[in-house]
Structure 1
């Protein structure tokens, strides 16, 4: 056994690394591995030994070690090497290791022996569930946290145990909501609320800012935006400087997303820029997966705020981090590909160059198909993006020697859109924004397929649902109105109807985004065509001039600085947020 005690030297780090290297070489090439001797090492030294084993392609031995819950629980305590642990663990999964099964089986055995159930056991389950959540292995996180709940229920229901149970519900809700397990998430949400009431009666409430942010996240993924925004505000009210920076970042991220879908961009920008600045300082490296999570939400803000090119750059950076940590066959990487594909699709919408968007969405779908059930909502979301891209490629086809290509692409797009609609309907029902979006997508597709009456039905259904849920002046309503106006204008020759819809769309977009918003181009072009067809030259020239003015404003726009570099005091940010309400 090597002696790791450091002697006085000019470069103790090099000596330490040399010792680690020699130990790993001995284990892998000379088969000199004695568990008993190595496991007496401190956690951080043992971690370095295991990570070097991963670097040297000793996954067969690393898998055996990490499959033992006692060993892996020690690795979970080495916080400063979390990224390396996620990276090596993902490699074990990719190698078809049964490591997940062994760890969960090891933890499940603990609940069979009541004498072993204590706070240490509960904390281990929470740490394991947290790690699985971080890696995107949500179904495994849920299994572990189910066991944690059982153990908490078996213990005396002290305030300390109830607080641990609430933490368990919080982590499980994160997994269920993110993994689109909405029925299970609703149950956990209700249990958590009941427990909050019980703890309040006992005067033992912990800080609920993080929990309320997860409540907001649940309503966000269910497209119930008013509730998401309300819970986000509640979470911000409870946010304190003495909370861990990681929690502050998570709360700010979720609150920003809730503001984006409510089109409260001043509030959203304030929060997400603070989150990005805090995350960059907290993780001190742009290679941490949690930093990529923050960038994904920042990209979401930029894309919706009409800073499309900047959003592409941010999504590219986030995906690069995720690929470096998780390589492939991981849900975080697939989501990164999908988000980037959609941003590229929007960015190149007017150019017709969809190769990069197509490549990224295909990469996302391939990963989802390998790791998800075929009817999973995440896979349906990716296929929706693919359908949008296929439709545009079909419309831009110039190869007249193969007239069937366009029909085949549109037919494939229709199949994907219908599949996504069916899954959305099953998950959310008819009265949901996501379901309405799918109707709108089908409306655009049928317009491309020259099935105009069917297209009108889809657009009207989308508008009705969106108006009922979001009100008549929401961006989503304007989007669907603009699509219906296009149908009336260019295909059904109902120019007066198109005129009213275009003007309504312009009014909404001007109020939400201002007079340099990119989407105004389509409305202005539409009205120019309407008045040309109606032989109203004076009004046509008026909108032609507005179009020129719009283009000038777009050309002189100063790009926003992508990465913010200043951190404001938290109380200042919170005060500014509520001043904007």
Structure 2
């Protein structure tokens, strides 16, 4: 009887919703007066029926969208509706942002409603940012900031600056972000001067993300440590999770892998316990977990995690969305690394093509967000060209790869200048490509420039340096017959690899095989035999690692929760 009583009202409710939607034109004015949950259910039914023109008309109303944003329990469904509208006409986000901007212009002379308008602006800008519409979100946060300045309240003004910094970072607008960063610093000093209590954890976390996006490893790491020290249990779990995620990525860049693992697993655990496994926050956290796994050489696990993150992002946003494009890009590179030995790059190429297709649809052609996908596609095309027996096809593929690499290099230099790790990576990629194109002197110049920049920024013992050193060794070994120089470079690359990752590191295989060829050409049979034995031991270790990865799931987290106040202290003990 209990189940029947539960079922009858549910059916009546759904029937009533359907009846209202079927006579939408008659009830339209009344519908707008409904409370948030009822209004949402009616509009969601309109979406499910495919009436996108009518839905778009309702969604562009600030009043209606304000009500919908209050229905937090159905935020994922709201993302579904919103993305469908953006796929349909691509104006809804811009209309909302412009409507809010105009509303703010009139609200400046209404002090009584200013705080409510600011609160709504933070909610609207946050939703658009979460939905991947960064440019429109920036308009909302900028307008919200102007309202904040009218009240001379530094606490809420600082929050606006931080939100604006976050969206400019996500959109890779680092020039505007620099100004916002300095304004936020000024806000912190003013708040501290006034002795106004404010928790700086999430603010310092955004500072770290800002520098992380520019590959400024030291600043990203320093700000992340400050964020961790400011954590406490009274914070919103979302803020704690975001700080943990960002600090983990910063530790990865500094090759502090043990610390990075603790941080990202604590973030995963907190997301799972607080919000479950299916939310947007889980999707974003999984992307960062995949980044960690890829960088600790757990490649197959990384691919599986990135795939799960992509599936979740796609379930919220469908296809033509920047978050989905970025998830495809992450999975493309992990798949490329995973498939490198086999030479079968179908999955990697499919994902990078999807990433570029979506981005090209949503971004201007010289946007910095395109660089990573262009780089991965160029790497894949180069490998396909090497294995292609048709000379004309191979040359076409290599030319396309060169265009992609040079475009990525140009965009990166424009954004960050010459002395940047991303710039160095693109020089190194061109060096590998020119080697494949038999342009050996150009290849050497590119590799030497990459090494010079990386050593200047990271020092001589970093993974990135080892990568470029190994590529230069390959050029000397296989194409320029500079065997003694190649030997020294291989040994240096191997030493760094073992120091950072241990004797089972996957990248050692190419250095060992290269070194064996060097000793073969030099006629050094004793050294050749010694390296052959080392390679045999490496293969045993690698097989054990792969077998262990195949037997375990990366999503099984064998960790205990650490109170936020204790995380920084725990890291100090490592």
Name the TM tier (shorter chain). over 0.9
- The 2-side partners of 1:422 and 1:430 are apart by 10
SS in 2 for 1:287: coil
Task: Answer whether contact 2:266 2:562 (CA < 8 A) is retained.
Answer: no
Shift in CA distance, 197/572, structure 1 to aligned 2, threshold 3 Å: closer
CA distance in 2, matches of 1:420, 1:530: 33
On the 8 A contact 2:490/2:515 being kept in 1, the answer is: yes
1:20/1:49 contact within 8 Å kept? no
- 2: CA distance, partners of 1:177 / 1:528: 45
Partner of residue 4, structure 1: none
Determine the C-alpha separation between the residues in 2 that align with 1:75 and 1:15.
Answer: 26
Match for residue 328 of structure 2?
337
Find the aligned partners of 1:259 and 1:163 in 2 and give their Cα distance.
Answer: 29
For residues 439 and 101 of structure 1, the distance between their equivalents in structure 2, rounded to whole angstroms, comes to: 38
Instruction: Look up the match of 2:561.
Output: 568
After superposition, residues 62-141 of structure 1 pair within 5 angstroms as 62-96=55-89, 98-113=91-106, 114-115=109-110, 117-141=113-137
CA distance in 2, matches of 1:31, 1:343: 48
1:334, 1:186 → 2: CA distance?
Answer: 26
Matched residue, 1:3: none
Of stretches 521-530 and 473-482 in structure 1, the one that deviates more from structure 2 is 521-530
- State the distance in 1 between where 2:177 and 2:110 align: 31
CA 1:320–1:202: 2 relative to 1, 3 Å? same
**C-alpha RMSD of matched pairs (Å):** 1.6
What aligned pairs does 1:118-197 form with structure 2 within 5 A after superposition?
118-155=114-151, 157=152, 161-197=153-189
- Residue 137 of structure 1: how far off its partner (Å): 0.6
Deviation at 1:110, TM superposition (A): 2.4
- 2:438 corresponds in structure 1 to 450
Report whether the alignment pairs 1:579 with 2:573: yes
Matches within 5 A, 1:34-73: 34-73=27-66
Q: How does 1:401-416 map to 2 (within 5 A)?
A: 402-416=390-404
What SS is found at the alignment partner of 2:369? helix
Gaps of 5+ in 2: none
Partner of 2:492: 504
Q: Which residue of 2 aligns with 1:315?
A: 306
Q: Identify the match of residue 196 of structure 2 among 204, 228, 248.
A: 204
Find the aligned partners of 1:197 and 1:14 in 2 and give their Cα distance.
58
* Residues 344-355 of structure 1 mapped to structure 2, 5 A cutoff: 344-355=335-346
- In structure 2, do the counterparts of structure 1 residues 11 and 232 end up closer, same or farther at CA, with 3 Å as the change threshold? farther
Task: State the 4+ residue runs in structure 1 displaced beyond 4 angstroms.
Answer: 8-13
Separation in 2 of the partners of 1:358 and 1:408?
Answer: 16
Structure 1 gap segments, 5+ residues each: 1-7
In the alignment, what sits opposite 1:488? 476
Q: Which moved more, 1:476-485 or 1:100-109?
A: 100-109
Structure 1 residue 295 corresponds to structure 2 residue 286: yes
The answer to whether the 8 A contact 2:18-2:45 is kept is no
Q: Distance in 1 between matches of 2:382 and 2:362?
A: 27
What SS is found at the alignment partner of 2:110?
Answer: helix
- Residue number in structure 2 paired with 1:262: 254
- Name the residue aligned to 1:5: none
TM-score, structure 1 as length reference: 0.94
Count of paired positions: 565
Task: Report the 3-state secondary structure (helix = DSSP H, G, I; strand = E; otherwise coil) of the residue aligned with 2:366.
Answer: coil
Decide whether aligned partners of structure 1 residues 405 and 376 sit closer, same or farther in structure 2, where only a CA change above 3 A counts: same
Cα distance in 2 between the residues matched to 1:14 and 1:451:
73
State the alpha-carbon separation in 2 of the partners of residues 12 and 435 from structure 1: 66
Q: 1:57 and 1:253 mapped to 2: Cα distance?
A: 38
Contact 1:196 1:205 in 2 (8 A): no
> Among 292, 304, 312, which residue is 2:295 paired with?
304
- 1:53 is paired with a residue whose SS is helix
Query: Are the counterparts in 2 of residues 26 and 33 from structure 1 also a CA contact under 8 Å?
Result: no
Per-residue deviation, residues 25-52 of structure 1 (Å, max 9, x unmatched)? 3344334542443344332222222222
Q: Secondary structure at the match of 1:376?
A: coil
Does the CA-based 8 Å contact 2:208-2:220 persist in structure 1? yes
